[in-house]
Amino acid sequence: MQHRNHRIVLARPLSGVPLAEDFRMQEAPIPEPGPGELLVRHVYLSLDPYQRSAIAGRHMGGRQPLGAGGMPMAETVGQVLRSRNPAYREGDYVRHFGGWQEYALSSGEHTEVLAKNRAPLSTWLGVLGMPGLTAWASMVELADVQPGQVVLVSAALGPVGSMVGQIAMQRGAVAVGIAGSDEKCAFVRELGFSACINYRSADFLGTLAAALPGGADIYHDNVGGQMLADAFTVLKNYGTVILCGLMERYNDPSRSKPLDLALPIVRRAVMKGLVVMDFEDRRAQFADFVAPRIADGRIRYREDRAIGIDATGAHFARLMRGENLGKSIVVLGDEPSFPSAPLQARYSTEKPRLKALLRGT
């Protein structure tokens, strides 16, 4: 075991699409847990597009951008090394907001002990984590997708998009994806999507229309901007649009294209804004649905991995260029192999603090 913590901080304020050299590594002592705290050694670090927006101080409104020397926030999965909190035992694997670093303290807030036997540990950051819960909230809670409906989703190979399609298919719907390369689309089709259209291809709109001859009942939007306008060309009248992400603007909000309101009016669309933190109390129901389907292969996923904390900046830059093939994860430590004894997951549902955590520190 090494005896220093390593963290990634901003070398300078971000501007536009991040570069690897926007970040630098810092060494620091491994902190000692105080009363009620626990020390976590991270195994996996989650990189997500919303982190770009959070670094810029734009995520969920009203905060300063992260300056040089600041550490981006992220969900992490790791093992409890020392615990001074009776709810956590040394050796437990937990998910918490640990940030871009190898070790972190937790007060227990939003710190969940993970059931080791249910699914691969890294999935608690992806298909079984916040991205998966986002897809669940979209398809089950907000859109209430029905058998036979047609669901269109952008960023379809990402952890949210791939789960939107797969949860829809598990409920008897048909899924059509949009992604940014033929390579991504090939994998999206492997997941069982009826079609996947590369939005960078010539005649994207024509191909999209051909893939949806009867139109889409539901469009799950991870992108905003022109992608949303394009989706309206194939949305059925009275169709549902779940407004979930704004990837189009995370790197550069000045390039953002807002919505022409005539589109939802003419389509009589129902549009619903989704914020995943509202669905914390659905985590157990969601995991009960998804975990067995991961175990038997009905739900599949792809991860885009980098190894080592020093790879984090470049891996985030890759994500924000849209080059990742699946859920972006940095592997920080040895991946454990688990016994099969069941472990009851515990859920934390304090929402106000979660909102602050999502904004970074």
Q: Does residue 243 touch its own copies according to CB under 8 A?
A: yes
Instruction: Tell the smallest beta-carbon distance from residue 32 to its own copies (Å).
Output: 38
Nearest to its own copies of 242, 329 (CB atom): 242
Torsion of Cα atoms, 51 then 295 then 163 then 101, to 10°: 0
What string marks each residue from 214 to 233 as x (binds its own copies by CB under 8 A) or -?
Answer: ----------xx--x-----
Q: Does residue 61 touch its own copies according to CB under 8 A?
A: yes
Sequence letter at residue 305: R
Q: Does residue 164 touch its own copies according to CB under 8 A?
A: no
- Asked whether 47 and 315 are in contact (CB, 8 A), the reply is yes
Instruction: Tell the smallest beta-carbon distance from residue 87 to its own copies (Å).
Output: 30
Query: Of 258, 292, 336, 342, which lies in the binding site for its own copies, with binding defined by CB under 8 A?
Result: 258
Tokens of residue 159, six digits:
């952890």
Query: Of 21, 90, 260, 288, which lies in the binding site for its own copies, with binding defined by CB under 8 A?
Result: 260
Per CB under 8 A, contacts with its own copies among 270-299 are: 270-275, 278
| HSE of 221, CA atoms in CB hemisphere, 13 A | 24
- Asked whether 41 and 79 are in contact (CB, 8 A), the reply is yes
- Residue 172 Ramachandran class (φ > 0 left, ψ -120 to 50 alpha, else beta): left
Total residues contacting its own copies by CB under 8 A comes to 29
Q: Does residue 261 touch its own copies according to CB under 8 A?
A: yes
Q: Does residue 60 touch its own copies according to CB under 8 A?
A: yes
Query: Of 89, 200, 268, 298, which lies in the binding site for its own copies, with binding defined by CB under 8 A?
Result: 268
Instruction: Tell the smallest beta-carbon distance from residue 10 to its own copies (Å).
Output: 23
Instruction: Tell the smallest beta-carbon distance from residue 147 to its own copies (Å).
Output: 23
- Asked whether 207 and 179 are in contact (CB, 8 A), the reply is no
**Which 8-state DSSP code applies to residue 335?**
P
Instruction: Tell the smallest beta-carbon distance from residue 351 to its own copies (Å).
Output: 12
Cα-based distances in Å from 272 to 53, 196, 348? 21, 24, 26
**Count of positions (residues) in the chain:** 361
Residue 209 makes CB contacts below 8 A (sequence gap 6+) with: 233, 234
Residue 127 makes CB contacts below 8 A (sequence gap 6+) with: 159, 162, 163, 290, 294, 299, 301, 327
Q: Does residue 139 touch its own copies according to CB under 8 A?
A: no
Query: Of 125, 135, 212, 244, which lies in the binding site for its own copies, with binding defined by CB under 8 A?
Result: 244
Instruction: Tell the smallest beta-carbon distance from residue 65 to its own copies (Å).
Output: 16
Strands 38-47 and 23-29: unpaired
Q: Does residue 202 touch its own copies according to CB under 8 A?
A: no
Tokens 């190898």 belong to 102
Instruction: Tell the smallest beta-carbon distance from residue 6 to its own copies (Å).
Output: 34
Q: Which residues bind its own copies (CB under 8 A)?
A: 58, 60-61, 224-225, 228, 243-244, 246, 256-262, 264-275, 278
